[in-house]
């Protein structure tokens, strides 16, 4: 008798599908001998099949038929209604992700609910999506490496410039790419403009301005041939987009230009040893920019990016760039890595001693990461205390406001529970101070997911009390 298959529903874009590959490998390891099925968009999986883990792909039109099956596990990583209906109707002992219900969506899984609660509220999130896809598979947090090949230059002298992304806010304009290409050419490297059909005009204009018409491959190659070009690069300079994740998966060195409404700690290149350049601004990593001007995009200049790229090309294995490369005004450079738990991490790279400015951003993100880990796995309490102590040492007033905010939030929720478990207003989490919104938003969605039941309220209050006591005891 054959083993029940595993089903993953990922109906999003190409980059999201590639970020699912580590999950597919983890499922194969946990359920050896079980067939692995994936529902995804044909325009993406048809080209990615030779590069993906060995699975059987189905188009979204098959979701209704897939819903009638029996599985060892079903994981929905998509917010599409047909995926939610499929998860709800399928038979499986383990279901994770959003599922349809008569009165709306219900999200199964601690980490899947956490990921869902990040919508419009991800500012202090420190978890990468490829990790969040996998964390619900084990009661102990041990995701391990993400199975990506370590980046290695091909030794060809070629540098790929991926010119586009899903929206204009996430990628530079043609003049930027032309100036960058000219600087790379002057340094003896061969730039190649890369992109799909949607980037044809942008690539053509960038190549014209750079006077390098022969370097434009945008819209001229199928994805499998783009993959072959990527494998022959010494470096791929790219915004946060599908080809970036493909290059990362293939072991191509990546310099990610993280601009616009993207969060590098969520969707940056996954393999250890990749590079991320982003604006040195407190608002980076937003879900959607509310400013009239994209300052995080304007911070990128061709001169600064060229200096970073050339330093990486000259020192591909050296995390500390040569002193002569100088600073990158308005920008911060990071390298990807893994922490002791195997979780994704960005590590700041200083161009010269003392150039990195102190910021509470990373310490606060790290604390909230440890706090949610501790609530999931109580054995990680020491990690939460360690991260809180680091925040208290560096920013005592901020730690005090965090303690006071948790105390106030706990009292607010306790009062609401005593009033017969009333629901929360829609703007409940937005009314909280920015340093608390990640947790307040998660608490709000958790209560909604539990229909504001007595058990749901009790669990929410227990979590609030646990964190408040952690902060209060550490402050004594």
How would residue 473 be classed by pLDDT, with cut points 50, 70 and 90? Answer: confident
Q: Is the pLDDT of residue 355 over 50?
A: no
CA 99 to chain centre: 22
Q: Is the pLDDT of residue 353 over 70?
A: no
Are residues 216 and 329 located together in one domain of the fold? Answer: yes
**Encoded tokens for 90:** 């399928």
Contact by Cβ (8 Å): 299, 308: no
pLDDT score of 356:
41
Looking at the domain assignment, is residue 375 inside a domain?
yes
Q: What value, to the nearest 5°, has the Cα angle with vertex 258 and ends 252 and 261?
A: 135
Return left, alpha or beta for 167; rule: phi > 0 is left, psi -120 to 50 is alpha, else beta: beta
Contacts of 177 (CB under 8 A, 6+ apart): 161, 163, 193, 202, 206, 209, 210
CATH number at residue 169: 3.40.50.2000
How would residue 354 be classed by pLDDT, with cut points 50, 70 and 90? Answer: very low
SS3 270: coil
Looking at the domain assignment, is residue 116 inside a domain?
no
CA 274 to chain centre: 14
Q: What is the dihedral of CA 162, 228, 311, 146, to 10 degrees?
A: 90
Are residues 27 and 74 located together in one domain of the fold? Answer: yes
Q: What is the dihedral of CA 318, 321, 323, 329, to 10 degrees?
A: -170
Secondary structure E strands in 322-473:
331-338, 344-349
Looking at the domain assignment, is residue 387 inside a domain?
yes
Q: Is the pLDDT of residue 126 over 50?
A: yes
Quote the CA–CA distance of 152 and 161 in Å, as a whole number. Answer: 17
Are residues 331 and 443 located together in one domain of the fold? Answer: no
Looking at the domain assignment, is residue 135 inside a domain?
no
Q: Domain span at residue 451?
A: 364-475
pLDDT score of 359:
76
In the block, tokens 């370097």 appear at: 215
Quote the CA–CA distance of 144 and 171 in Å, as a whole number. Answer: 31
Task: Give the pLDDT confidence of 361-402 residue by residue, as tens digits.
Answer: 889 999 999 999 999 999 999 999 999 999 999 999 999 999
pLDDT score of 293:
75
In this structure, how many other beta carbons lie within 10 angstroms of the beta carbon of residue 32? Answer: 8
Looking at the domain assignment, is residue 66 inside a domain?
yes
Domain boundary among 66, 93, 108: 108
Average pLDDT of the segment spanning 119-134? 94
Are residues 349 and 400 located together in one domain of the fold? Answer: no
Quote the CA–CA distance of 476 and 474 in Å, as a whole number. Answer: 6
**DSSP type of residue 425:** P
Average pLDDT value over all residues in the chain: 90
Beta strands 36-39 and 275-279 are: unpaired
Are residues 70 and 208 located together in one domain of the fold? Answer: no
Are residues 165 and 231 located together in one domain of the fold? Answer: yes
Task: Give the pLDDT confidence of 45-84 residue by residue, as tens digits.
Answer: 999 999 999 999 999 999 999 999 999 999 999 989 999 9
Average pLDDT of the segment spanning 291-307? 85
Are residues 104 and 201 located together in one domain of the fold? Answer: no
Quote the CA–CA distance of 297 and 160 in Å, as a whole number. Answer: 20
Q: Is the pLDDT of residue 261 over 80?
A: yes
**Where are the alpha helices (H) located in 123-186, listed in sequence order?**
129-132, 174-186
Looking at the domain assignment, is residue 144 inside a domain?
no
Are residues 233 and 260 located together in one domain of the fold? Answer: yes
Are residues 197 and 263 located together in one domain of the fold? Answer: yes
Quote the CA–CA distance of 70 and 74 in Å, as a whole number. Answer: 9
Domain boundary among 299, 323, 357: 357
Are residues 91 and 220 located together in one domain of the fold? Answer: no
Number of domains in the chain: 3
**DSSP type of residue 326:** -
Say which range, 30-39, 110-119, 290-299, 429-438, has the weakest mean pLDDT: 290-299
pLDDT score of 226:
95
The residues with which 23 forms a beta bridge, in sequence order, are none
Q: What is the 3-state secondary structure (H, E, C) of 278-321?
A: EECCCCCCCCCCCCCCCHHHHCCCHHHHHHHHHHHHHCCCCCCC
Contact by Cβ (8 Å): 251, 271: yes
Looking at the domain assignment, is residue 205 inside a domain?
yes
Are residues 369 and 298 located together in one domain of the fold? Answer: no
Secondary structure E strands in 87-185:
95-101, 104-108, 158-162
Say which range, 11-20, 225-234, 423-432, has the weakest mean pLDDT: 423-432
Tell which wins on pLDDT, 318 or 29: 29
pLDDT score of 357:
46
Q: Is the pLDDT of residue 310 over 70?
A: yes
Contact by Cβ (8 Å): 12, 210: no
pLDDT score of 352:
44
Looking at the domain assignment, is residue 117 inside a domain?
no
Question: Which helix (DSSP H) or strand (DSSP E) does residue 73 occupy?
Answer: strand 73-76
Domain boundary among 77, 108, 139: 108
Task: Give the pLDDT confidence of 165-220 residue by residue, as tens digits.
Answer: 888 889 999 999 999 999 999 999 999 999 999 999 999 999 999 999 999 999 99
Are residues 401 and 463 located together in one domain of the fold? Answer: yes
pTM of the full structure = 0.93
Quote the CA–CA distance of 305 and 29 in Å, as a whole number. Answer: 40
């Amino acid at each position: 008798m054959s083993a029940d298959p595993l089903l993953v529903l990922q109906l999003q874009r190409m980059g999201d599908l590639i970020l699912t590959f580590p999950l597919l490998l983890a499922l194969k390891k946990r359920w050896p001998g079980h067939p692995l099925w994936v529902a995804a968009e044909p325009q993406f999986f048809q080209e990615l099949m030779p590069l993906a883990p060995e699975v059987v792909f189905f188009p979204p039109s098959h979701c209704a038929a897939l819903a009638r099956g029996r599985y060892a596990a079903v994981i929905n990583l998509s917010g599409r209604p047909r995926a939610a209906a499929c998860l709800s109707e399928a038979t499986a002992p383990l279901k994770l992700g959003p599922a349809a219900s008569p009165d709306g969506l219900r999200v199964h899984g601690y980490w899947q609910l956490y990921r869902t609660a990040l919508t419009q509220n991800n500012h202090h999130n420190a978890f990468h999506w490829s990790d969040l896809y996998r964390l619900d598979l084990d009661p102990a947090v041990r995701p391990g490496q993400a199975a990506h090949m370590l980046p290695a230059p091909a030794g060809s002298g070629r540098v790929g410039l991926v010119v586009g992304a899903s929206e204009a806010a996430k990628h530079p304009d043609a003049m930027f790419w032309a100036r960058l290409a000219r600087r790379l050419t002057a340094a003896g490297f061969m730039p190649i403009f890369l992109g799909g059909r949607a980037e044809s005009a942008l690539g053509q204009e960038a190549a014209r301005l750079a006077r390098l018409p022969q370097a434009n491959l945008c819209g001229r190659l199928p994805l499998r041939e783009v993959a072959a070009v990527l494998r022959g690069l010494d470096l791929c300079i790219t915004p946060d987009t599908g080809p970036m994740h493909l290059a990362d998966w293939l072991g191509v060195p990546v310099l990610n230009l993280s601009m616009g409404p993207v969060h590098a700690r969520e969707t940056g290149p996954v393999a250890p040893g990749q590079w991320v350049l982003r604006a040195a601004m407190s608002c980076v990593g937003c879900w959607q920019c509310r400013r009239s001007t994209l300052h995080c995009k304007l911070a990128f200049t061709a001169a600064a990016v060229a200096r970073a790229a050339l330093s990486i090309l000259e020192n591909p294995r050296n995390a500390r760039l040569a002193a002569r490369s100088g600073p990158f005004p308005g920008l911060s450079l990071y390298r990807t890595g893994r922490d002791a738990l195997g979780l994704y991490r960005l590590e700041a790279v200083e161009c010269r001693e003392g150039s990195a400015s102190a910021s509470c951003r990373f310490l606060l993100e790290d604390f909230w990461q440890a706090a949610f880990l501790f609530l999931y796995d109580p054995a990680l309490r020491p990690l939460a205390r360690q991260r809180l102590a680091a925040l208290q040492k560096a920013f005592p007033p901020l730690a005090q406001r965090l303690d006071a905010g948790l105390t106030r939030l706990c009292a607010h929720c306790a009062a609401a529970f005593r009033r017969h478990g009333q629901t929360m207003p829609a703007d409940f989490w937005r009314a909280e101070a920015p340093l608390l919104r990640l947790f307040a938003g998660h608490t709000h969605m958790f209560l909604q997911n539990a229909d504001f039941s007595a058990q749901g309220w009790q669990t929410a209050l227990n979590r609030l009390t646990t964190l408040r006591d952690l902060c209060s005891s550490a402050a004594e």
